[in-house]
Amino acid sequence: MARCVRCCCCVLVLLLVALGIVAAVVFVRNRNGGGGGGGDHPVPGSVDHKYAEALAVALQFFQVQKSGKLVKNEIPWRGDSAVDDGQEAGLDLSRGMYDAGDHIKFGFPLAFTATMLSWSVLEYGGAMEAAKQRDSALDALRWIMDYLVNAHPADDVLYIQVGDPEVDHKCWERPETMSEKRPLTKITANSPGSDVAAETAAAMAAASLVYKPIDASYSSSLLGHAEQLFSFADRHRAAYTRTFPELAKYYNSTTYQDELLWASGWLFHATGNGSYLAYATGKNGEDFADLGNPRYFSWDDKRPGTQVLLSRVSFFASQGAGVAEENGGLESYKQTADAVMCILLPDSETAAFRTEGGLLYVAEWNSLQHPVASAFLAAVYGDYMLTSGKTELTCGGQSFSPADLRKFAQSQADYVLGDNPMKLSYLVGYGDGYPQRVHHRGASIPADVNTGCGGQQWLESPDPNPNVATGALVGGPFKNDSFVDERQNVMQNEATTYNSALIVGLLSGLLTTSSVAQSLSS
């Protein structure tokens, strides 16, 4: 059961902020150079070349997924596409990225992709730089953020989708040659979608921290959008799939409540404004966070991510201010984050199910999403413990260390990269063997072929894809560790842009010696 969080906790946080005490938790460049921008910072430890090579591969999928007029195109079989997106509304929505093997821009998972890319750069930007991969991550992030900024033309208006998924999913064609209409879907005060608005606010707030030392004007603009979108999401509460029920079959949002907490957590770190922390730790946290009950992190459930993100305050601000000890709601977030870690550790008495090959197994469809997302949180949390000097995690009567969390994170990354019963890398382009028939339109059709909407022969072909969707993280194995490399096996063999953001985060966290910032702001 969630701990009761009294209003006095909110008042206390606001008073502490007024005294300048809580400012210590706002995300400084770390010992690993985790700040988003340049400048002088210590060089991290030696780079693990396996994870660095895998990270370089994973980041290429964002190039594969780009929409619009391409700049410095690095993918020989990709070209300009969807350059007129948004014109019917007088907007430039040509950028952004396609969701998966299709050509829809779904705003909800795309915003989550941006949030996760930002979090990865903020925690591990120095390690990325040491591996010469941070510029690639920033390029992908900017391509998405430019799209999201343009998709928010007014305070209470957000365009959340480009394209008709019913039409798109009946077509098998390259994005460069598609000619179907690309209708726009938007949320407004009369047609709300708190989940997608709040997730976009989280992306804007997190990215504002990344760009703060790089481009102050752009950072300020992103933060302005973030605050407007959060206000919009909170004032007009509804799930976007309740407003647009026809979209529930694609990315059905279980609830909008977790996104409100997630966004408030990111806005607190981006602004230092204690009202955002009070929002998450007060009645909203009591009602929405399901504190005390560990869950799995995903594009649909942000609660574990929020619990880990807000545990930063407990780990670092408490050193000088005692904030966590005084704020019952904040301490409940920390305790729940502990519980999340306990279900991930294989030797814990509360350990969740995993396959015989060692993969954390939560869902059959896109089975790699949850273990990769969970492993990223474990890597981050273990680094919070190390950096803050808290070296023990208690799970019931058992004690675990940051090294145990890192070992779990590495085990999931290694499984993905080929240390599994199939001896198959699920990251396309990495290793000696990886899926050859990824469910991806552009990869499956030769670059010089214009199929129109009817390229079914390429979907049904038993041959390997003529183009390699480098960096694609496919859905993954079944519960018995088996995998069928067939193009029409959507459950296992389709890659998603948000999966790529998760594996980028995990690999970045494993690049060098553990260490993160005590603050995310530069």
CA distance 97 to 105: 6
CB neighbour burial string for 428-445, b if at least 16 within 10 angstroms, e if fewer: bbbbeebbebbbbbbbbb
Tokens of 308: 């880990």
Average pLDDT, the chain: 90
Which residues lie below 8 Å from residue 89, measured CB to CB, with a gap of 6+? 153, 159, 184, 186
Say if residues 314 and 285 touch (Cβ distance below 8 Å). no
Under the banding of pLDDT at 50, 70 and 90, the label for residue 49 is very high
Under the banding of pLDDT at 50, 70 and 90, the label for residue 520 is confident
Say if residues 187 and 193 touch (Cβ distance below 8 Å). yes
Under the banding of pLDDT at 50, 70 and 90, the label for residue 398 is very high
pLDDT at residue 38 is higher than 70: no
In whole angstroms, what separates CA 387 from the centre of its chain?
Answer: 23
Q: Is residue 195 part of a domain?
A: yes
Catalytic annotation, pick one of 41, 225, 370, 439:
439
Q: Is residue 309 part of a domain?
A: yes
Sign of CA dihedral 506, 511, 514, 515: negative
Under the banding of pLDDT at 50, 70 and 90, the label for residue 44 is low
Q: Is residue 519 part of a domain?
A: no
Distances (CA, A) of 449 to 443, 445, 519: 12, 7, 51
Q: Is 8 left (phi over 0), alpha (psi -120 to 50) or beta?
A: alpha
Say if residues 284 and 358 touch (Cβ distance below 8 Å). no
For the residues 477-500, what does the mean pLDDT come to? 98
pLDDT at residue 32 is higher than 60: no
Q: What is the pTM of this model?
A: 0.92
Residue 229 belongs to domain with CATH number:
1.50.10.10
pLDDT at residue 7 is higher than 70: no
pLDDT at residue 41 is higher than 50: no
Residue given tokens 């209409």 in the structure block:
181
pLDDT at residue 255 is higher than 60: yes
Q: Is residue 420 part of a domain?
A: yes
Q: Packing angle between helix 7-18 and helix 274-281, nearest 10 degrees?
A: 160
User: Which segments of 236-368 does DSSP mark as H helices, in order?
Assistant: 240-243, 248-251, 257-271, 274-281, 283-288, 303-312, 318-321, 323-326, 328-344
Q: Is residue 320 part of a domain?
A: no
pLDDT of amino acid 251: 97
Q: Is residue 17 part of a domain?
A: yes
Write a three-state SS string for 362-420. CCCCCCCHHHHHHHHHHHHHHHHHHHHCCCCEEECCEEECHHHHHHHHHHHHHHHCCCC
Cβ neighbours around 155 below 10 Å, total? 13
Q: Is residue 521 part of a domain?
A: no
CA distance 196 to 251: 11
Residue 237 C-beta-side C-alpha neighbours within 13 Å: 10
Instruction: Please tell me what DSSP assigns to residue 68.
Output: B
pLDDT of amino acid 11: 38
Burial label for 489, CB within 10 Å (0-12, 13-18, 19+), is: middle
pLDDT of amino acid 518: 82
Q: Are strands 398-400 and 393-395 parallel, antiparallel or unpaired?
A: antiparallel
CA distance 6 to 256: 23
Expressed as residue numbers, the domain containing 388 is: 7-313+325-509
Cβ neighbours around 92 below 10 Å, total? 16
Under the banding of pLDDT at 50, 70 and 90, the label for residue 522 is low
Residue 162 C-beta-side C-alpha neighbours within 13 Å: 27
Tokens of 268: 């607190």
Q: Is 381 left (phi over 0), alpha (psi -120 to 50) or beta?
A: alpha
User: Which segments of 163-215 does DSSP mark as H helices, in order?
Assistant: 165-168, 194-211
Q: Is 3 left (phi over 0), alpha (psi -120 to 50) or beta?
A: beta
Tokens of 294: 């560990």
Question: Is residue 49 among the annotated active site residues?
Answer: no
Radius of gyration of the chain (CA): 22
Average the pLDDT over each of 79-93, 300-314, 320-334, 429-443 and give the range with the smallest value.
320-334
Tokens of 247: 């979209």
In whole angstroms, what separates CA 280 from the centre of its chain?
Answer: 20
Residues 437-487: tens digit of each pLDDT: 999 999 999 999 999 999 999 999 999 999 999 999 999 999 999 999 999
Q: Is residue 319 part of a domain?
A: no
Residue of 519 and 153 predicted with greater confidence: 153
In whole angstroms, what separates CA 57 from the centre of its chain?
Answer: 18
Beta-ladder partners of 398 = 395
pLDDT at residue 5 is higher than 90: no
pLDDT at residue 118 is higher than 60: yes
Say if residues 384 and 314 touch (Cβ distance below 8 Å). no
Give the closest residue to 501 by CA, choosing from 326, 376, 332: 376
pLDDT of amino acid 317: 75
Q: How many domains does the chain have?
A: 1
Question: Mapping DSSP to helix (H, G, I), strand (E, B) and coil, where does residue 97 land?
Answer: strand
CA distance 162 to 167: 12
Question: Mapping DSSP to helix (H, G, I), strand (E, B) and coil, where does residue 310 land?
Answer: helix
